[in-house]
Structure formats: structure tokens, C-alpha cells
Amino acid sequence: MKKNFYYILPALAIVMIGMSSCKKDIVEHNLEFSPLTPSSLDLKAENWKPVLLTSNSQFAVAAPDAVTSPAYVADLNEIKALQRDITDDQRKLIAYWSAGSVLRWNEILRELVAKHNLPPYQNSDGTYPAPSAANPFAYPQFPFSNPPYAARSYAYVSAAQYDALIAAWHYKVLYNRPAPYKNDAGVQALIPKSDLPSYPSEDAVVAGTVIEMMKLLFPTEIAYIEQKEADEKMYRLISGANTRAEWDAGEALGRQVAGLFTARARTDGAGAAIGTPAYWQQLETNTAATGQVPWISLEYPKRPPMLPLFGKVVPFLFPATTVASLRPGPPPSTSSDEFKKETEEVLYYSQHATRENKAIVAFWADGAGTYSPPGHWNAIAAEEFVKQNYSEVRWARNLALINMAEMDAGIVCWDTKYFYFNPRPTQTDANIKTLTGIPNFPSYSSGHSNFSAAAATVLTYLLPDRGTKFTDMAHEAAMSRLYGAIHYRTDCDAGLVTGKQVGDYAVARAKADGADQ
Amino acid sequence: MLRLDFYPNFRPYMIKPLLVKTSKYFIALSFFVALFSEASAQTEADAIMIPKNYLCTGVMYGHSSWDHYWEGTFKRDNGNIGTLTTQMYSLMANYGVSNKLNVLVSLPYITTHASAGTLEGQKGIQDLMASVKYMPVEAQVGKGVISLYAIGSVSVPLSNYVADFLPLSIGVHSTNIMGRAMADYQLSNFFVTGSAQYVRRSNITIDRNSYYTTEMHYTDEVKMPNVAVYNFRTGYRSESWIAEAVVDNNTTLGGFDIRKNDMPFPSNKMNFTSAGVNFKYTFSKPAGLELTAGGDYVLHGRNVGQTTTIHGGIYYLFSVKKEKKDKK
């Protein structure tokens, strides 16, 4: 007996050595995506219906240098020189970026949203500072990419990429310049070969739009974005996919098209969405005057409501005047029996949280420090789209449809929230403890439900073979807010209905934009 | 000594109720008859062994709380948390395989509660901890005695509690393997003990499939940084009493800071230095009964709460082969 135990120490030592040798390294699933090999080049995309562009030749792209010109030959020689000295890090750039430009820039945007999705810390007097676009590096840095801000950012970037790629496809077809590896056998193709004309570079178009949009949306991240752009440019050159001139032409086009979108964004009303102290007070007073209990911030110190005028932002898919018509009817009166019953239901979920419900709440929480609910649906869409082998322009089109729907769902939802200014369950019954943080805005209707139903509606149209997968996910996302004890059931149900209505506008657009005919 | 992290992750291996020999009868049976105070033990971090075929079992209670914490190096309070209180109820056992080899286990049940804000407190069985404590060297040096120890431990989560709900989570749900080297010097009734421990933590799985640290991660797996623990204790040991002062330092080898006004995350860089005192009283009648009490306070930390902890325990030490011993 005693001797047996002396084997414990060597055995333990072996276990510890074993544990330390086993790798902790994690392979993240977005790094396992294969190089993009489009099943269709979508050469007719130049005729797809753009969002803001008035025509696919609104911005001129000069004809490329002749393949026999010294300039083009010099560009090819640059590629050959790069390929001769290629490093492991550069091969990693190829492996990363070749999954697709729209995909990777969408991921980068999600990362920036997560990074900046932090509510400001209070001042010593209990008030809160607001981020300033004019002074973006001062604390709190601009922006605070909360869900409405995030939804709008995804929409502008995606829509700008879509329009810019329509223009790029026009010039690709017009100039019909084959890829460098097709013009010179000395240039290797370190990515899957493609018959898509390579002038102007579609990757550069996408990068150019992001660089331009980021000056407005995430001004503190310009250096980071420019580094990413430099990486992508190196990938295109060293992989033999583009010459420098093809890149430069594409980037210039992307920047120009993005200019249309930054101009729109500057006047879409988002800059004034934060409201004023007088307006915040007015919301409370007006609601109380109707006999309903007005929303009160449950944070300490009390935080002003999040972007109360975001409902006035100009939508992409329908006129601003349509917003009020999409607003659902009122929630149960705060003095009604129905309201009391719904509050009791929330209390039940608060006090009877199963492990499974906790997992659902956490999976969909998408709160502070995350890419937000619209970002979550971008991630879901991206995971599906990589299986579809879309062309870059179709990637952009489909993400633009989803993200315009997300932004507009956010607008309609915020309009609803501040129209009714309904209290959260915990305000109604302080015994309701929550499984996730309570967002700092009114309860009715649920933002998650709006965002999720809108995205699921578009995804179901785009990928009908997935059946009810996305609507099932949207339903779970909506219910996660009830399980988490931060929403009444009515908030979730109404949000799902409104979100689908907004999603239907995107579907109607998709049916008519030329991409599915 | 009981240590609470920022997260109410009571770490049983840091729980140090004090124990010494319990009775004259017990001493007589001890292999270390000459060593006045080296007679029993209950934690893997103190220089105390119990003799062969003895079992020490007990229960302990710990209460810890904080109302200030550090986000990175920024110290703050939080009106949406108020005071974060963690309570622990733990079952413990220590068995003397031989006079030089003890096996220890502990099993804590933990509850958390925030006095303000809306976040729901959590509760559940946390991590089972098992340790093997080996004393290869024990030698007279001058008028005192030096003893050296090697301690290997494993902790395993016993329930599927939520790790990613800090600071309300009851733990961070990693499986840990720990190795500690310890040296003790005793002169008359006074002792000093120093030890260093390396904690290797497994990756954990959380309920979402992406998260941001200092960059975006698309996985539900979280790489947990390992931890170095340094412990120093000194004080008085006698047959009936132990009184000691303890300084503890935990340094996370990697990890990242909580950003201003962000939520904490299991793989944060959680560092702290704490100081505390422990007392233990051993009854001569009934022989084998022991009471412990103590407390400590975090002097300085990073991504942890400035925790104040008090704890107490009751233990019983007895021979499991009494008849055999009696025959001797």
C-alpha cells in the first residue's frame, strides 16, 4: 500500500510534463476559410442596381497601360522580384486575404466595433462624457459603437463596397485585362487562377472604400486600417493577382465611390441622435403625461438614454416617412393586468435560469465589448457565404442587403423605443435580476428581435436551401432576451414582426436589383 | 489563508487553515517525534504533515467581499455592482499515506452576490482539488530544522458553471495542474516558510463563439494564461496554537487588462499581493479537534477586486488504523 503511493510522484510528474507539452494553441474558424474560388464571375454585375451610384461609369477609371508598355512590364517585374524573396509571413498574408476581400474587411469592421463598443465611464459629478467626432482620441474615444452606431457602420461600409464593385465590374468588362499570371509565364499564381479581368483590382476597390469610410466612422483607427490595406496590397502583388497599377486604380475608385456614402452619412441625422438633456427630460415627461410609467435608466449613476433620436436617421431601404408606419402598436399598458403577467413571466425566467438558458443568453448577448447584434448576424452570414463561393461583388451585394436591413431595423426599433419609452422589467419589479447587462434604453420593442428577424429574413431569401435555420436562430435570439430577464415577451414578439417587415424591404430590393435574374 | 480573486474564484489550494499535531498520543505515533510541531497538515501550501494512516477531515467557511477593483491599473468602484460578496463552504480531507507523503482533497461550494445593479448572483459546486504533498528532506540545521517539500496538485471543475459571467461567476472553469516547491525552517516555536507555485491552466470553453480581448477571436475556446504564485509565511507554532502572518502574490503569466468600463473576462491578467493572518487552536480534549480562523486583505492588484476575506474551519484528526496501532 505504502509503496504504491510512491508511484504517485513520478506519475504526477509525467502527467504534468504531458500537460505542458500539449498545445494550448487554438485554431480560430475564420482562419480556416479556403481561398475564394467564385462559382460565377458575375460578369453582368455592372448592370446590378447600385445604392447611391447614379451609373456604373459615374467615376472614370482610365484605361490600363498596354501589356507591352514599359510601365506594365515594370509592374510584372516588381511581382517577380517579390515572389523570388517571398517570406513565410507573406505566405500567411496570402492564406489570410485570399479568403476574400469583402469577407476580411467585414471581419475587421466587426473587430473595430467590438473594440469601441464600450459605454463611457462617468465623470466625477455623476454625468457622462460623450465621444466627440471632432476630438476622437480624447476619452471617451469616438465612436462608442453601440448597436445603432454599429448597424449604421456595417450598412455604409457594405453598401459602399457594393456600389464600388459594380463600378469596378464595369471597368473590368470594359478593359478586359487578364491577370498578371496570364500575361507572363514568369509570374506565378499563388492563389487560385481566375478568368476575372484584373483591372481595376477588386480587392483594392474594397480596401479603398473602407479607408475612406473609416475616416468618418472610426477615425482613431486610420493607422490600423492603412496597415491592413498595405498587407492586402502586398498579398495581391506577391500572389500574382494584381499589378501595382491595377491596385492603385481600384483603390482610387473605391475611395471615390465611398465619397458618395460619407457625404450621405454626414447628413443622415446620426450626428444628432444623442439628443440633448432637455430632450431626454421631455421623453420622460411626455410619457408620464400619457399615464404610462416612463423608462428610467437602471445604471448608476443614471446614464442618458442611448441615441434617442436614432429613429430619425434616414433609412436606406425606404423613405424616412415610412418609419412611423412600421412602428408596432403600443405594448401593454404599464397599469394593465397583462403587463403584470408579463412582468411575472420575466421574474420566473430570472429565478429559474437553466444552464441551457444561460448558454442561450450568453451566446446572443452581444453586449458591451462585442461586435453587437448586427455584427453577430454579419458573422453568421459570413460563415454561410464562404460555403457559397460567391464572387466579391455578390459577397458585397448580399452583405449590403443584410446590413441595410440591419440599419433600417435599428432605425425603426429606436423610433419605437423612444415613442413608447417603456420601462424595463427590472424597473417594474426590482426582484428581477438579470443574466446579462440591461441595455440602457427603453424596453419595447427588443432590438435583438428586430435585428435578428431582419437579418434572418434576408438570409432566408438568399439561401433558401437552409430552410428555417435563420428564422429559428432569430427566434432563439429574441427569446434569449426574455430568458435573460431583460425583456418582456411582447418586446420580443413585436420586434420579430417589425424586423421581418424591414427585412422584406431588403428582399424586395434583392428581387429587383438584377443579381438574381 | 484564503484568497479570493477578483472573480469569486475561491481557489482551494490557497486555503490555509493551520494545523499542527493534535495530541500527545498523536505525537507519540508520529514519525517526527523529535520535531515538535510537524504533526498534521491540511493544505498543500503549509509546512505541516500528518502522520501515516491519519485522516484529517473538516469543513470551512469563507466570506470575502470587495467594493473597489482594478481595471488594469485603474482603481474604481462600480455603482452597478456595489459590494461583491462571495461565500464558500468547503469540505476538506487530508490523509497520511506515510509520514512523508500526504494526500489532500477539497471541494468548495460557492455563492456570489452583488449588492447593487441587476446582475444575478451565481452559486454551485466549483472545482475539486487534489494534492500530493511530499517531504523528501527534513534535517537539523543548527538549533532548528529545515524541511523541503514538493507538492503537485490538480483541480477539476465539478459542475458546468458559467465562467464567462464575471465578476459574478463562481470560477473560471479551467482544469489546473500545479507544482509547488516549498522550504520551511523552524527554530524553537518560530518558523518561516516560503514557497513558489506554477499553475498551468487549461483552455476553457465559453457559451459564445467569438470574443474580443485585444483583438477579435472567432472561437468558443479561450486560452488561459498560466499563473505563478509566491507565498511567504512566518509565525509561532506550538502544540496547541499556531499564529502566523502570510503574504501571498499571484502573478498571471500573460493575459490582458480590462479596458475602462469594460466587462472582465476569464483570461484577464489577474495579479495581486495580499497580506493576512491565520490562527489555529488544537484541543487536547477532545483530542483531534481543531479550529481555525483567519483573514487577509489585498494590498495591491490588477484586474481583481480589493478583497477582504475572513474564514474559519473546524477539523477532526484521527487514526484510521487505530486497532493496528494499538497492537503496537
Tally C-beta pairs within 8 A across A and B: 127
> How far apart are the C-alpha atoms of B88 and A400, rounded to whole Å?
52
Per run of 10 residues, the mean pLDDT along chain A (length 517 residues) is 54 59 80 96 98 98 97 98 98 98 98 98 96 96 98 98 98 98 97 98 98 97 98 98 98 98 98 97 98 98 98 98 98 98 98 98 98 98 98 98 98 98 98 98 98 98 98 98 98 98 98 95
Amino acid letter, B295: G
The pTM assigned to this predicted structure is 0.92
pLDDT of A142: 97
Is residue A36 within 8 A of residue A389, CB to CB? The reply is: yes
Work out the angle between the directed axes of helices A202-217 and A101-116 (0-180°, nearest 10): 20
CA of residue A172 relative to chain centroid, distance: 28
B323 touches chain A (CB under 8 A): no
Nearest neighbour of B221 by CB, restricted to A26, A369, A371? A26
> How far apart are the C-alpha atoms of A255 and B53, rounded to whole Å?
79
pLDDT of B22: 29
Taking CA A114 as the corner, what is the angle to CA A111 and CA A117, rounded to the nearest 5 degrees?
145
Nearest neighbour of A118 by CB, restricted to B116, B179, B262? B262
Chain A nearest-CA distance from B59, in A, is 26
Burial class (CB in 10 A: 0-12, 13-18, 19+), B150: middle
pLDDT of A6: 56
DSSP alpha helices (H): ranges in A85-146? 88-97, 101-116
> How far apart are the C-alpha atoms of A204 and B95, rounded to whole Å?
69
> How far apart are the C-alpha atoms of B180 and B246, rounded to whole Å?
17
Nearest neighbour of A16 by CB, restricted to B97, B103, B179? B179
Higher pLDDT, B9 or A488: A488
Rg from Cα positions in chain B: 20
The CATH number that domain A279-512 falls under is 1.10.606.20
Per the rule left: phi > 0, alpha: psi between -120 and 50, beta: everything else, A287 is alpha
Count Cβ atoms below 10 Å from residue B275 Cβ, excluding itself.
Answer: 14
> How far apart are the C-alpha atoms of B176 and B157, rounded to whole Å?
9
Per residue in A52-68, pLDDT (tens digit) is: 999 999 999 999 999 99
Per residue in B26-72, pLDDT (tens digit) is: 222 222 222 222 223 357 899 999 999 999 999 999 999 999 999 99
Residues in chain B with CB shorter than 8 Å from the CB of A16 are 152, 177, 179, 200
Nearest neighbour of B208 by CB, restricted to A19, A30, A362? A362
Residue A375 Cα distances to A349, A356, B308, angstroms: 27, 23, 40
pLDDT of A65: 97
On the question of pLDDT at B122 being above 70, the answer is: yes
CA A410, A412, A413, A416 dihedral sign is: positive
Q: How far apart are the first and last CA of chain B?
A: 37
Burial class (CB in 10 A: 0-12, 13-18, 19+), A9: middle
- With helix as H, strand as E and coil as C, how does B260-280 read? CCCCCCCCECCEEEEEEEEEE
**Interior/surface letters A245-265, b for 16+ CB within 10 angstroms, e for the rest:** bbbbbbbbbbbbbbbbbbebb
Residue A279 Cα distances to A30, A275, A305, A320, A444, angstroms: 43, 6, 10, 21, 19
Per the rule left: phi > 0, alpha: psi between -120 and 50, beta: everything else, A36 is beta
Is residue A421 within 8 A of residue A283, CB to CB? The reply is: yes
Q: Which three cell numbers stand for residue B182?
A: 516549498
Q: Which domains does chain B have, with CATH numbers?
A: 12-327 (2.40.160.40)
Return all residues near B170 (Cβ < 8 A) that are at least 6 apart. B8, B9, B10, B86, B110, B111, B112, B122, B123, B124, B126, B161
Per residue in B142-172, pLDDT (tens digit) is: 999 999 999 999 999 999 999 999 999 999 9
Q: Which CATH class is domain A34-266?
A: mainly alpha
pLDDT band at B18 (very low <50, low <70, confident <90, very high): very low
pLDDT of B38: 27
Rg from Cα positions in chain A: 26
Per residue in B184-232, pLDDT (tens digit) is: 999 999 999 999 999 999 999 999 999 999 999 999 999 999 999 999 9
List beta partners, residue B129. B106, B155
**CATH 1.10.606.20 boundaries in chain A:** 34-266, 279-512
Return all residues near A430 (Cβ < 8 A) that are at least 6 apart. none
Is residue A289 within 8 A of residue A281, CB to CB? The reply is: no
> How far apart are the C-alpha atoms of B311 and B53, rounded to whole Å?
28
Q: Which three cell numbers stand for residue B158?
A: 465539478
Higher pLDDT, B11 or A404: A404
Q: Which B residues, 189 through 248, put their C-beta within 8 Å of a C-beta on chain A?
A: 200, 202-203, 206-212, 215-219, 221, 223-224
pLDDT of B44: 86
Backbone angles phi, psi at A87, to 5 degrees: -105, 170
On the question of pLDDT at B23 being above 50, the answer is: no
pLDDT band at B20 (very low <50, low <70, confident <90, very high): very low
Q: Which B residues, 255 through 314, put their C-beta within 8 Å of a C-beta on chain A?
A: 259-263
Short-list A323, A313, A209, A319, CA closest to A271: A313
pLDDT of A424: 98
pLDDT of B17: 29
Short-list A104, A98, A106, A105, CA closest to A37: A98
List beta partners, residue B273. B249, B300
Task: Output DSSP code: residue A486.
Answer: S
Q: Which A residues, 299 through 338, put their C-beta within 8 Å of a C-beta on chain B?
A: 299-301
> How far apart are the C-alpha atoms of A16 and B153, rounded to whole Å?
10
pLDDT of A24: 79
Chain B nearest-CA distance from A361, in A, is 9
Strand, helix or coil for residue A240: coil
> How far apart are the C-alpha atoms of A25 and A336, rounded to whole Å?
55
Closest-CA residue in chain B for A27? B219
Q: Which three cell numbers stand for residue A488?
A: 418582456
Residue of B69, B77, B118 for testing the chain A interface, max A β-carbons within 10 Å: B118
Q: Which three cell numbers stand for residue A105?
A: 474587411
List beta partners, residue B319. B54
Question: Which helix (H) or strand (E) is A347 found in, with range?
Answer: helix A337-351
> How far apart are the C-alpha atoms of B103 and B2, rounded to whole Å?
20
